[in-house]
Amino acid sequence: MRFTYAEAMTNPDYYIPLAQAAEAAGYTSITVADSLAYPRVSDSKYPYTPDGSREFLEDKAFIEPFVLIAAMGAVTSTLRFVPFVLKLPVRPPVLVAKQATSLAYMTGNRLSLGVGLSPWSEDFDLLGVPFAKRGKRMDECIDIVRGLSHGGYFEYHGEFYDVQEIKMTPVPTEPMPILVGGHSDAALRRAVTRCDGWMHAGGDADELDHMLKKLDEIREREGKQGPFEIHAISLDAYTVDGIKRLEDKGVTDVIVGFRIPYITGPDTEPLQKKIDNLNRYADSVIAKVG
C-alpha cells in the first residue's frame, strides 16, 4: 500500500512545510487541488457534498496546480505529486502536455497526472470551451497528453483537436501515469480504457465496493490485465487492519486527510497541528504496515 497525504483550501504558505513533513514521515504522495475561479452566481451543483452546495469554496486560496507542484518539488526529493484532479478538458491539451512533461522531468518522474471533468459550466465559459460533449473532449485530451508525453513525433486528428506532427523535449524518463477521477460509469470506463488508474472522491464503503466491482468488470470485459492504480478515500485507511482489507480489494493507494475541508470560512487549524496529525498517522499506520 502507498499513502497519499491530502490537504486543500488552507493557507498557501503551509504547503511547502507540509510537503517536507509528509516526505519525512514516509508518505508516498501529496494531492494538489485545482480550482480556476469562483463565480458570484452559479446554478451548478458540487457533486461531492450532500446538498450540492458550493459556498465552502468562496474565498478559499487555490494555487495553480503546476505552479504549486513545482514549488514543492524543489524542496523534496522522493515525494510524488497528484493533482486531485486537474480540470483537463477546459485547458488546451498540447499546453497541458508541455506543462506536465516539463514538471515530471524536473521533479525526476514524480508526477502522476490526475485529471477529471470540471463540475462547473462556468469554467468552460471562462476559457471559451463548449460545455457540450465534454466527455468526448476529455477523451481526446487524454490521448493527446499521453501521446506527447512519450517523446518522438506525434499527431492527432479528432473531432475537437487536430494536432500536426510534433514532438516535445524533454519528456519524463519514465512513463507518466495518468489517472482519472470521477464516480460515473463513463469515468470508470475512461480510467480503464485510456488511463493507468482511477481516483476515488470519497463516499460510503458500500459505494466504493460497488465501484471497485464495476472496475473489475470493465477490466475483464476490456481484457486489461496489467498494473492498474486505485487511489481511494476510506475510513478503513485509518487502521492497519483496514489497510489490509483495502489491499485485498485491489486498492493500491489510500488518500488520507485529517480535517473536513468542506467548511465555509477560513481554515483555522495551525500548521503545527497539521504536521502533528500527519506524523501521528505515519507512526500508527504507515510504520506498522511497513
- CA distance readout (Å), 30 to 18, 22, 48, 165, 255: 9, 8, 20, 35, 9
pLDDT per position in the chain (290 positions), as tens?
A: 999 999 999 999 999 999 999 999 999 999 999 999 999 988 888 887 888 888 999 999 999 999 999 999 999 999 999 999 999 999 999 999 999 999 999 999 999 999 999 989 999 999 999 999 999 999 999 999 999 999 999 999 999 999 999 999 999 999 999 999 999 999 999 999 999 999 999 999 999 999 999 999 999 999 999 999 999 999 999 999 999 999 999 999 999 999 998 899 999 999 999 999 999 999 999 999 97
pLDDT at 180 (0 to 100)? 98
pTM exceeds 0.95 for this model: yes
In angstroms, the CA 150 to CA 173 distance is: 9
CA-CA-CA-CA torsion for 129, 69, 6, 149, nearest 10 degrees?
A: 60
Q: Which run of H or of E encompasses 3?
A: strand 2-5
- Whether residue 10 contacts residue 34, with contact meaning beta carbons closer than 8 Å, is answered with no
Grid coordinates standing for 176? 507518466
- Give the pLDDT of residue 90: 98
Contact present, 230 and 251 (Cβ < 8 Å): yes
Q: In DSSP terms, which residues pair with 4 in a beta bridge?
A: 29, 255
